[in-house]
Amino acid sequence: MVEMSDIETDPVLSQSLDQAAGIWGIEREFWDIWGKHHKTPPETEARVLRSLGVDVSSGPHLQRAIEDRNWREWSEPLPPAIVLSDSEPYEIAIRVPADSQSLSAGLEIRFENGMTARADIDLARIPVSQSTTLRGRTFVEKVLPLPGQRCLGYHSMALRVGPHIQSETRLILCPSRAYQPEWLQTKCAAGIAISLYGLRSGRNWGCGDFKDLAGFVDWASRELAVSFVALNPLHNIPNRQPFNTSPYLPNCCYFRNPIYLNIEDIDDFPHSRWAQRLAKCDAIQRELESVRSSELVEYERVHHLKTRFLRLLFRRFLTAEFPHDTPRAGEFRAFIKREGDLLHRFAVHSALDEVLHRRDPQTWSWQAWPEAYRRPDSPATREFAERHWRRVLFYKYVQWQIDVQLGAAQRHARKRGMRIGLYHDLALATDRFGCDLWSHRDFYVAGCRVGSPPDNFAPKGQDWAFPPPNTDRHYRDGYQLFAESIRQSCQHGGALRIDHVMRLFRLFWIPDGTDAAHGTYVRERFHDLLHVLALESVRNRVVIIGEDLGTVPDFVRETLAKLGILSYRLFYFEQDKNRRFKRPKEYPRESLVSITTHDLPTLAGFWSHRDIVARREAGLIANEEDLRRAHEERLEEKQKMLDLFFELKLIPDSLPRDVHRIPELTGELHNAVVGFIASTPSVLMVLNQEDLFKQNEQQNLPGTTAEYPNWRRKMRFTIEELGANPFVRDCAAMYRAWVEKTGRANYMK
């Protein structure tokens, strides 16, 4: 561990730290949301560098690490990956020894479509753009035009200089902007957001499933005239209460949660004698009724119940179809081939987790597994996968069925006239005890956690307790794994929200052994990441929304707008420097607007102060004085809102002008807030179902686990009640009226 005393007594180390921080992307200073300036302490720089594998034990060691990195960057003719957008010159920079400039050279691009382009290059005729001398040898950089026609996609490129210098790289040619449908460039649209697990119906198995989703789509398209239904992240999670139910802390971000499957819609269900017999069992019927009628989602029970049936359905498929090359067997094999090693590692991890937990019920993660199984490529892991091939295949079968049903849900939404359909959400975090860390450990940094600096939401900062990505490893990988994370989340949808889009620019790293007050930002290769995101967006025809809340420099939002990535604006947060709420016309067009998120109070909860009471009950508000202050600050905010609504004539003059006289969210206020956000020029708006139906409780209370039922709350009404309940009809009519009045109605031609 490097301490301040070590730095103070080693002048070479002290002088080198800032230089190294700049090279490895560690920001030496930042400004928080209040405009307060923070300078990164030398010991924080040293700890972050050490987590990146940099030797900071002494000044000479750090100088050698800097020299090694510079040597690596100059001695390789081509970098590990080159990302170019179609607005940039069609050329690349190469670096070669100065004494090789007179040698013959050639470039070859092998495009992903099988075509090839070649060019012979006279290096001597191309000017030097920069040069350096390292370890007694001079290197020069030259900019070369690329051969062939520019073609979007992932290609490979090889450079040859003379008989001895050869280098290869991944060439990624990208659009300059993310996808946006032509109709959305002149119009606006609206949507409704749900937590899929929270959908209720008289037929589901304890949580919302894809059939419930289709039913909700039917109602929303008919009664609300919306263009999309926004979903929580559907990532695979452990489904263990209360610590492993957050959709924003996935076990695996590439594959999905089987609790969303409608078991009875799987083709094997009516043909499985054992599944049919089990479904009629009294104990099963009682369990179904119990989880269906429970106030909250019972993740473990639902998952256990569905898994029992899935095993029976897989057994039927494995014996009746898989060996006989039926059309479904062909579809399954094609799915396995398409998903490749990514799916295989996920399935092997799932099988290992099942077997090892059964042997020892106290074994909950791969970090407690026998050492031989802790890497996906170990001989023991490979031998396990071969011996347990049926179990591994089962987990692939489950993901195939999820893909089938989710694809059907998106097609259904489009057939019902929704121009966008399903709107997906890609989580920022990944569970450090989960599959992604086991499968792709080299792509994460050990020794630091991701969090955020102090802001209005968390005055002491936040520690999100998951490891940062290893940006250099992604770069050396040619961004293949990053592209997969986007591609997988784009599947079967028309829009994708990127949780904490700042991740593509920088993340706030907190060294182990310290708190958020001792963290700092570390930069990412944002040019490359954003353009790969744009490429996947265009290829999948998916609109991208970047969740840019919190401490966001102007440069970030300007860059996102330039690339056609929509900003994410919340009514609660859109205030100027004087804490005045912005008027609708002040919202940017290139944005999605909403009232709140899953982490913030619902509209009704905000107005009734329910979230403040919940935080006090959970111990997040320490004493009565802090509680009193929270209530007073809320009253001030509500009064500003009320004054604004009167100014904009969104509420009748007959309503009291003193917020103390309106303790609950009235129909007039409900109408005013919805009308306010609908009236913004933002290209997309979304209303959470909790805010449509005036529910008090938010889905997640940050900073709690067992103290609050996070991610478990069900919708107030069942799917069947949506079409019949008078209150639902009134809420729907109010929302639709604003959607139509502001030109956001979905009338697909």
Helix axes 11-23, 42-51, angle to 10 degrees: 60
Closest of 590, 606, 624 to residue 694, by C-alpha:
606
- pLDDT of res. 86: 95
- pLDDT of res. 2: 56
Percent of the chain topping pLDDT 90: 89
Residue 627 has pLDDT above 80, yes or no: yes
Question: Is residue 494 one of the residues assigned to a domain?
Answer: no
Question: Given pLDDT bands bounded at 50, 70 and 90, which one contains residue 588?
Answer: very high
Question: Is residue 225 one of the residues assigned to a domain?
Answer: no
Same domain, 98 and 169: yes
Residue 158 has pLDDT above 80, yes or no: yes
Same domain, 111 and 138: yes
User: Is 743 in a helix, a strand, or coil?
Assistant: coil
Here the CATH number for the domain that contains residue 129 is 2.60.40
Closest of 349, 350, 205, 381 to residue 284, by C-alpha:
205
3-state secondary structure 303-362: HHHHHHHHHHHHHHHHHHCHHHCCHHHHHHHHHHHHHHHHHHHHHHHHHHHHHHHHHCCC
Question: Given pLDDT bands bounded at 50, 70 and 90, which one contains residue 454?
Answer: confident
Question: Given pLDDT bands bounded at 50, 70 and 90, which one contains residue 3?
Answer: low
Question: Given pLDDT bands bounded at 50, 70 and 90, which one contains residue 10?
Answer: confident
Same domain, 134 and 64: no
User: Is 283 in a helix, a strand, or coil?
Assistant: helix
Domain boundary among 174, 195, 217: 174
Question: Is residue 380 one of the residues assigned to a domain?
Answer: no
For 95-104, the pLDDT digits (tens) are 999 999 888 8
Q: Which residues contact 410 (CB under 8 A, 6 or more apart)?
A: 421, 422, 492, 493, 494
Same domain, 53 and 127: no
Domain boundary among 38, 73, 108: 73
Euclidean distance between CA atoms 297 and 231, whole angstroms: 16
- Token pair for 308: 């029992």
- pLDDT of res. 6: 62
Question: Given pLDDT bands bounded at 50, 70 and 90, which one contains residue 1?
Answer: low
Pairing assessment for the beta strands 228-230 and 421-426 based on DSSP bridges = parallel
Same domain, 153 and 94: yes
User: Is 280 in a helix, a strand, or coil?
Assistant: coil
Closest of 164, 138, 165 to residue 74, by C-alpha:
138
Q: What is the mean pLDDT of residues 357-382?
A: 96
Euclidean distance between CA atoms 589 and 241, whole angstroms: 41
Total number of residues shown for the chain: 749
Handedness of CA 698, 700, 705, 706 (dihedral sign): positive
Residue 7 has pLDDT above 90, yes or no: no
DSSP label of 447 = S
- pLDDT of res. 749: 43
- pLDDT of res. 456: 64
Question: Is residue 117 one of the residues assigned to a domain?
Answer: yes
For 248-274, the pLDDT digits (tens) are 999 999 999 999 999 999 999 999 999
Residue whose pair of structure tokens reads 């997640």 in the numeric block: 700
Same domain, 92 and 134: yes
Residue 532 has pLDDT above 90, yes or no: yes
Same domain, 56 and 118: no
Handedness of CA 132, 134, 140, 145 (dihedral sign): negative
- pLDDT of res. 12: 74
- pLDDT of res. 654: 92
Question: Is residue 395 one of the residues assigned to a domain?
Answer: no
DSSP label of 531 = H
Q: Which residues contact 449 (CB under 8 A, 6 or more apart)?
A: 463, 464, 465, 466, 467, 468, 509, 510, 512
- pLDDT of res. 114: 95
Owning domain of residue 99: 87-174
Same domain, 123 and 58: no
- The pLDDT mean for the chain works out to 95
Number of domains in the chain: 2
Same domain, 167 and 136: yes
Q: What is the mean pLDDT of residues 493-515?
A: 96
Q: Residue type for 404, please?
A: V
Same domain, 132 and 158: yes
Residue 216 has pLDDT above 70, yes or no: yes
Helices within 388-462 (DSSP H only): 389-415, 435-439
Question: Is residue 240 one of the residues assigned to a domain?
Answer: no
Residue 748 has pLDDT above 60, yes or no: no
Question: Is residue 667 one of the residues assigned to a domain?
Answer: no
Q: What is the mean pLDDT of residues 376-401?
A: 98
Same domain, 100 and 69: no
For 171-195, the pLDDT digits (tens) are 999 999 999 999 999 999 999 999 9
Question: Is residue 289 one of the residues assigned to a domain?
Answer: no
Which contiguous run of DSSP H or E holds residue 684?
Answer: strand 684-688
**Distance in angstroms between the alpha carbons of the first and the last residue of the chain:** 64
Same domain, 66 and 106: no
Domain boundary among 23, 44, 73: 73
Q: What is the mean pLDDT of residues 18-33?
A: 90
Euclidean distance between CA atoms 441 and 430, whole angstroms: 12
